Structure 1
Amino acid sequence: MNTSENLMRATPLNACKAYVQCGSTASARGWFDNGGFARVLRKRRRILTTIGAAVLIGSNVCTTIIADARVTRFVVEQRQPYAGGAQFGDAGTFERLVGTASFEVDPNDPLNAVIVNLDKAPRNARGMVEFTAPFWIVKPVDMSRGNQKIWYAINNRGNSDLAFRATLADVPTLMAKRLELGFAHVDAGWHGDGIANPGHLPTTNIFTLPLIVAPWKPYEAADTNTAHATMTVRDRQDAPRTTIPPDRWAFGQCATGQGGLVPTTSDLCLFDGFQANKMYELIYTAKNPIVMGLAYAVTRDVGSFVRYQTQDDFGNPNPLALSPTQIGIRRSYTWGSSSTGMYLRDWLYLGFNEDEAHRKVFDGASINIAGTHRLFANVQFAHPTFYSRQDANHDYTSNSYPPHTFAVTTDPISGITDGILKRPATDPFVMQIDGDLELWQFKGSLHVADGLGRPVPTPANVRLYFISGASHGQIGQGVLSGPLDAAAPGACQYGQQRTNPVDATRRALVVAMDNWVDKGIDPPASNYPRLENGTLVPLSQIRATFPTIPGFQAALMLENEVNLLNFGPSFNSRGGLEEILPPIAGGGYQLFQARLDEDGLPVSGVRQMEVRVPLGTNTGYNMRAAPRLPDQCGLSGAYFPFATTQAERIATGDSRLSLQERYGDHTDFTLAVMRAAKDLFREGFMLNEDAIRYIQTAASSAVLR
């Protein structure tokens, strides 16, 4: 997808306001890591007293003011062949549509009352708030050849699964499987703070930084008097802050230092220059917050329109309808990964799976690699692209308030009784898929164990799957990590995984989700580490039992600790206004990690091929290189290949068996892959076609030849 389209097609940007203009301003906090990227943690403080205009803009959403909790206009503006006209199973050829949806939401409707600042947004003559968003659809050219089902794939920071694909080879394997099954795909813009201007924060010493790195739009400073703001610097996330004197920095641009200062409200000039590998935090007074919670209404109302309506208010057809009088859609599912997995957890919690007609929007929700975080987009001065990690943004909102669980439970730290799924009439079937990293960085253990280390239940309409040995996201296509080397470490201390081939499991679970919802066939039981069977253990046990791997310092391993955060009385589990910055840390939560075997691989969860027949130790954990050691290395995992022979491993002091000790020769290695593929197929975590692919890859590999 090209940048201008991805970030709302650029041309309307100047035509749209990007804010709710405030009569009174609010405090904000920005945070920068000059180790190659920037972070703005938050903008918030007092409640707004007057509002001049309320609209969204950006990476995926622009508002021009319209609304009634529904789509009023749905206009297709572009239509093009998908994947060069490739055939996908019985569904045949697909096409890609691009257009704009217009919305009206009623600020007095109880379903919309949860949206922060919606009551302050401008209204049309009918008392509705209006906005627009771009949409993308990939559908069978002949809808009657499809399966009359939808996957609504929520884009991550504007990066959509529904991007243009010139050839079949360009289509990701997970997407290709869903197309082969006949699903139509839908996505719509929701991110209200993007701009059509990609950029990267340099790692060299420089004088000027934007308040937030492109392509995200910063909240402008309402007060540029630096004496009224606080800027600090530190070496690491947990290091003490040092305040930078207000006469050593300014709001503005200064490419050559203080002498070249040009004042602005959206840039930051440090007269002595920003240093690489330092963390800078700014608390300042911001203005013009976006009504970011309308993002959730976009997903609800587009999802409802394409499922239930044959045309919009102006007679424009729903492109997924079979005819002007027949919609034809039988089932609808949604998918969110990483940040958009957090988005879906928050979206479900806030009740957006119920449309204005009180119908269920999605029958099933597939949430990928989100841990127990929620996005908290429904916050004044929200920046939903950012999230809590051990090494950055540690006390950000995604880490702040329960509920952490799908089931309604009582959180022992806060005393709050709540759950993500508490509306049986409209709650969907849910599958959440996490990997190793989601336990280390996104507090995954809180799915199944509360903050005091006591087991918590999983609802019958939820499946939790832990993918053993998996890092975060899709590093590369393919199967079987190479046996001889890891990828370059980059900013990390240890070599990274060359591939993170979790798509085989995800593809199998696409089929399982559809069978669960549409045919009543139960999917595989939840498979997540748990306290009850001893597969969930404290960090101290991981440090003590991690195998001896040359160069790896297990004693330094850290997890993303979590405390109940107090942002003030106007902030709660549903979002709101953050008045205390930085937040006050309250009681801490006990976290756990997956128990490991003698190779450093989890003994529980869905043990994918790379764990059942390993060529090395794949982990969802890595450390940053000096000077940030031993912080975790963002969302990167690590790969530690096995030695080929016993003599090699003994010479290096590696406690893990060598390839020869494990498999003997190439034939036995291939047979081990064959047995594991059959087991994964039988368990429901691998499709037959992927089992064949693994076996063929093993047979043709160079392992032990």
Structure 2
Amino acid sequence: MMKTRLFASALAVALVGLVAAPASSARVVQLVVEQRSSYLGGASWGNAGPYEMLRGTAFLVADPRNPHDAVIVDLENAPRNAAGLVEFSTPFLILKPVDMQRSNHKIFYAVNNRGNNLEGLLTATTAGQVSGTDAGYAMTQGYVVVDAGWEGDVVPTATKLVANLPRARMPDGDPITGPMRYEYSDRASGTFTTNLEGTPGFLSYQAADTDTDSATFTVADSEYGPKTRISPTRWAFGKCPTGEASLVPDDVDLCYFDGFDNTKIYELIYQAKNPIVMGLGFATTRDIASFLRYELRDDAGNPNPVGPGIRRAYAAGGSQTGGYLRDYIYLGFNEDETGRKVFDGIIPWIAGTDRVFINVRFADPNTYSEQDRQHNYLQSSYPPFTYAVTTDPISGIHDGILKRPRTDPLVMQVDSESEFWQLHGSLNVVDGLGKPVAIPDNARLYFVGNTAHAFISGSFLFPTAGTAALCSNPTPGSGINWETLRATLRNIDRWAEASGHQRGDDAEGFEPPKSNYPSVLDGTLVTLNEAAAAFPAIPNVSFPTVYDTYQLLEFGPRFGPQGGVLTVEPPLNGPSYAIRLPQTDAIGIHLAGVHQIESRVPLGTSTGWNIRSPAHHGPNLCVLTGSYFPFAATKAERLLSGDPRPSLQETYVNHDGFVNAVKAAARELVRERFLLEADADADVDAAEASNVLLQ
């Protein structure tokens, strides 16, 4: 209670005098640091020295009359204060050098995924546990590391960063209503109830009418099969942990009296009410980063905790927030309310062509569309796909993500193979007819070959081969390719310095690595049949026969490239787009892309795809998981199994040969600037410590 009163009082103080504020007001009005603590016991981070952690709340306002915020859907329908401004807030955390004179005077803004702050860094107990992440590298370089909530539908917990965003209502105070659609797949058999959103960690939009006759609940045998309507008498809005007899009616849960079957796919379409103004999430990122970069103090006189003197700012986000950052750029949020550039560089990774589409009424940022589930949902991508401004031949839309030269950031996007199979990655570089589209000069696209959506580097610890059984993931590890991302952060920083007026000595004349992404021009981006023909005939391995197709989706006249209001659910499927896939060589290594140690010195064939088991919607793809098929150890083993790929012994002869190959690959990656020297040394150490060809 005391904390709530403190927040309310802080906002009241900050808003004093805002009645006379100009129509252009849209900013952080108060940034309250509530907790300051030594980070990891005062561990030192290179020349930057010890770090401290700041936790607090940012209070913000937006003005529906401000042209920088006019794009935000339903902002005009959000509650306003006496000054006509929309109030919202979000928790933040900052990791900064205790002595800011030892910092590099740059911000690394790590945009969290679904409220998970700094990708779990705060659960670390030693500096060693943090040093292997991109944020750990950023701290050794002296960056101020920032994260803040942006998503307003996450169930708050002690560790999650969740934005407190308003809900829109009609001018007369009545609820705003509209269609909402959720899909439920892979549900545990014998269960009866779920929240409407389908995931316990996320809020559900309330049903405007809990009469089941007004909603549609269906079941299907597959994602693409016919849907059968479930009788309105066999389900209800409410919780029922043990079935119909335990029903407690409400407007945010679903009870299916007959129980879910985990081989079936269910879908609910209902009229929802009280939409969150989710597009304000973009304003939280923009305004907090801008405040920390440019301002001396907030409206209440509190000093900027990391200023003055911030010279550069960079942002990065992965998967969901990779798409978020693509949309952030496209919608113009990299320009703050006074016209200043917010981020010099942005790194979206493993996003494919997704844009998170939070700028819609009844936004659902947790949902993403794939071949095997939620196939034709909004997040399956929508034009424009490319960074370059071009005309999409299917929709006729003439647009692009990078179209504001004065305030657009430099972009380095990093993708795995999964993004081509499930997130339409090829549409970054080809149009809907399969013809090439150029990458603009202020963007770089990098494809990390033979990796999946969740991938790791430098381990040399590979599991047993196999394809998925109910979505188990046999890829090596689960995480982010920190090595590539550390090198990418270094590269984008030097690129920004070389492009700017304040140039660092080591950035003089720096030219970043050229884009390395599959292309139809050189045959490294091909059709499914061409990819299947080239992939090796590995025993007991089936190459996918499907990928996530894309049809232009029609959600009604109030929806368009910038978002809007969905009035048609499910959408109408329009014309199809040509989707292309990365090509491989005879052992399954991709022809194009940035190849890290694991694909330059392979111990097997890794892919960005996996296939569901026959009992669970096979041969559909298995979400965003990958596969790994190890090489035989000896020629005799290879011949016995019928594997056409060379064995480890044929390729490397012995352990020393393998280690020498790793050393050569590491040197080459350092020269290409896709690997830091420290990571190269660690990879060589891992190879030497491995048991490859020692048995």
Query: Structure 2 length as normaliser, TM-score?
Result: 0.89
Shift of residue 287 of structure 1? 0.7
Matched to 2:419, the amino acid is E
Shift of residue 478 of structure 1? 4.1
Q: CA RMSD in A?
A: 2.2
* Structure 1 residue ranges (4+ consecutive) displaced by more than 6 angstroms after TM superposition: 9-13, 197-202
Aligned twin of 1:194 = 154
Shift of residue 256 of structure 1? 3.0
Assess if the C-alpha contact under 8 Å between 2:460 and 2:690 holds in 1.
no
Whole-Å Cα distance in 2 between the matches of residues 498 and 344 of structure 1?
26
CA pair 493-208 structure 1, distance change in 2 beyond 3 A = closer
Aligned twin of 2:347 = 366
Matched to 1:84, the amino acid is G
Q: Deviations over 1:124-179 (max 9, x none)?
A: 11111111111110100111100000011100001121742331122143221111
Q: Deviations over 1:476-509 (max 9, x none)?
A: 5642243x63489562377333366722221111
Aligned twin of 1:94 = 51
Find the residue that maps to 1:283 and give its secondary structure.
strand
Whole-Å Cα distance in 2 between the matches of residues 397 and 312 of structure 1?
38
Shift of residue 406 of structure 1? 0.5
Whole-Å Cα distance in 1 between the matches of residues 203 and 473 of structure 2?
34
Aligned twin of 1:184 = 144
Q: Does 1:338 align with 2:319?
A: yes
Whole-Å Cα distance in 1 between the matches of residues 461 and 290 of structure 2?
42
Q: Deviations over 1:598-657 (max 9, x none)?
A: 111211110111111100011111011232211111111111111101111111121111
CA pair 558-176 structure 1, distance change in 2 beyond 3 A = same
Aligned twin of 1:443 = 424
Deviates more, 1:286-295 or 1:500-509: 500-509
Find the residue that maps to 1:151 and give its secondary structure.
strand
Structure 1 counterpart of 2:560, from 549, 572, 591: 572
Structure 1 counterpart of 2:193, from 208, 211, 220: 208
Aligned twin of 2:598 = 610
Structure 1 counterpart of 2:67, from 90, 97, 110: 110
Q: Does 1:308 align with 2:297?
A: no
Whole-Å Cα distance in 1 between the matches of residues 527 and 354 of structure 2?
20
Structure 1 counterpart of 2:512, from 515, 520, 523: 523
Aligned twin of 2:257 = 271
Whole-Å Cα distance in 2 between the matches of residues 495 and 154 of structure 1?
28
CA pair 227-533 structure 1, distance change in 2 beyond 3 A = same
Alignment of structure 1 residues 642-681 onto 2, 5 Å: 642-681=631-670
Shift of residue 235 of structure 1? 2.2
Q: Does 1:72 align with 2:23?
A: no
Find the residue that maps to 1:510 and give its secondary structure.
helix
Assess if the C-alpha contact under 8 Å between 2:467 and 2:541 holds in 1.
no
Find the residue that maps to 1:232 and give its secondary structure.
strand
Aligned twin of 2:540 = 551
Assess if the C-alpha contact under 8 Å between 1:488 and 1:496 holds in 2.
no
Q: Does 1:391 align with 2:377?
A: no
Whole-Å Cα distance in 2 between the matches of residues 96 and 516 of structure 1?
29
Aligned twin of 2:506 = none
Find the residue that maps to 2:206 and give its secondary structure.
coil
Assess if the C-alpha contact under 8 Å between 1:493 and 1:623 holds in 2.
no
Matched to 2:567, the amino acid is E
Q: Does 1:594 align with 2:582?
A: yes
Structure 1 counterpart of 2:481, from 490, 498, 502: 502
Shift of residue 298 of structure 1? 0.4
Assess if the C-alpha contact under 8 Å between 1:78 and 1:97 holds in 2.
yes
Structure 2 counterpart of 1:240, from 226, 230, 253: 226
Whole-Å Cα distance in 2 between the matches of residues 491 and 98 of structure 1?
40
Deviates more, 1:491-500 or 1:94-103: 491-500
Alignment of structure 1 residues 390-429 onto 2, 5 Å: 390-429=371-410
Whole-Å Cα distance in 1 between the matches of residues 538 and 294 of structure 2?
56
Q: Return 5+ residue gaps in structure 2 as ranges.
A: 9-22, 161-183, 500-509
Whole-Å Cα distance in 2 between the matches of residues 336 and 516 of structure 1?
19
Aligned length: 639
CA pair 698-222 structure 1, distance change in 2 beyond 3 A = same
Shift of residue 400 of structure 1? 4.3
Shift of residue 237 of structure 1? 1.4
Shift of residue 261 of structure 1? 2.2
CA pair 382-259 structure 1, distance change in 2 beyond 3 A = same
Whole-Å Cα distance in 2 between the matches of residues 586 and 179 of structure 1?
48
Deviates more, 1:501-510 or 1:656-665: 501-510
Q: Does 1:131 align with 2:84?
A: no
Structure 2 counterpart of 1:460, from 441, 455, 460: 441
Matched to 1:137, the amino acid is I
Assess if the C-alpha contact under 8 Å between 2:55 and 2:91 holds in 1.
yes
Q: Return 5+ residue gaps in structure 1 as ranges.
A: 1-8, 17-65, 322-326
Matched to 1:690, the amino acid is D
Whole-Å Cα distance in 2 between the matches of residues 133 and 501 of structure 1?
26
Matched to 2:259, the amino acid is G
Aligned twin of 1:684 = 673
Q: Does 1:514 align with 2:473?
A: no
CA pair 459-111 structure 1, distance change in 2 beyond 3 A = same
Q: Does 1:542 align with 2:531?
A: yes
Q: Does 1:703 align with 2:692?
A: yes
Matched to 1:79, the amino acid is R
Shift of residue 339 of structure 1? 0.4
Q: Deviations over 1:338-376 (max 9, x none)?
A: 100000000110000010110000111011110011010
Find the residue that maps to 1:112 and give its secondary structure.
coil
Find the residue that maps to 1:273 and give its secondary structure.
coil
Find the residue that maps to 1:307 and give its secondary structure.
helix
Assess if the C-alpha contact under 8 Å between 2:24 and 2:65 holds in 1.
no
Whole-Å Cα distance in 1 between the matches of residues 641 and 566 of structure 2?
52
Deviates more, 1:358-367 or 1:169-178: 169-178
Find the residue that maps to 1:624 and give its secondary structure.
coil
Assess if the C-alpha contact under 8 Å between 1:67 and 1:103 holds in 2.
no
Identity of aligned residues (%): 49
Find the residue that maps to 2:55 and give its secondary structure.
strand
Matched to 2:207, the amino acid is A
Find the residue that maps to 1:647 and give its secondary structure.
helix
Assess if the C-alpha contact under 8 Å between 1:100 and 1:133 holds in 2.
yes
Q: Deviations over 1:44-97 (max 9, x none)?
A: xxxxxxxxxxxxxxxxxxxxxx99310000000011121232111110010111
Whole-Å Cα distance in 2 between the matches of residues 222 and 417 of structure 1?
37
Q: Does 1:143 align with 2:100?
A: yes
Aligned twin of 2:77 = 120
Structure 2 counterpart of 1:225, from 211, 214, 221: 211
Aligned twin of 2:571 = 583
Whole-Å Cα distance in 2 between the matches of residues 498 and 437 of structure 1?
15
Assess if the C-alpha contact under 8 Å between 1:71 and 1:103 holds in 2.
yes
Assess if the C-alpha contact under 8 Å between 1:380 and 1:577 holds in 2.
yes
Identify the structure with bigger relative contact order (alpha carbons < 8 Å, sequence gap 6+).
Answer: 1
Whole-Å Cα distance in 2 between the matches of residues 454 and 346 of structure 1?
24
Q: Deviations over 1:542-563 (max 9, x none)?
A: 1222111121112x43211011
Whole-Å Cα distance in 2 between the matches of residues 495 and 127 of structure 1?
54
Whole-Å Cα distance in 1 between the matches of residues 129 and 34 of structure 2?
24
Shift of residue 576 of structure 1? 0.6
Aligned twin of 1:31 = none
Assess if the C-alpha contact under 8 Å between 2:218 and 2:229 holds in 1.
yes
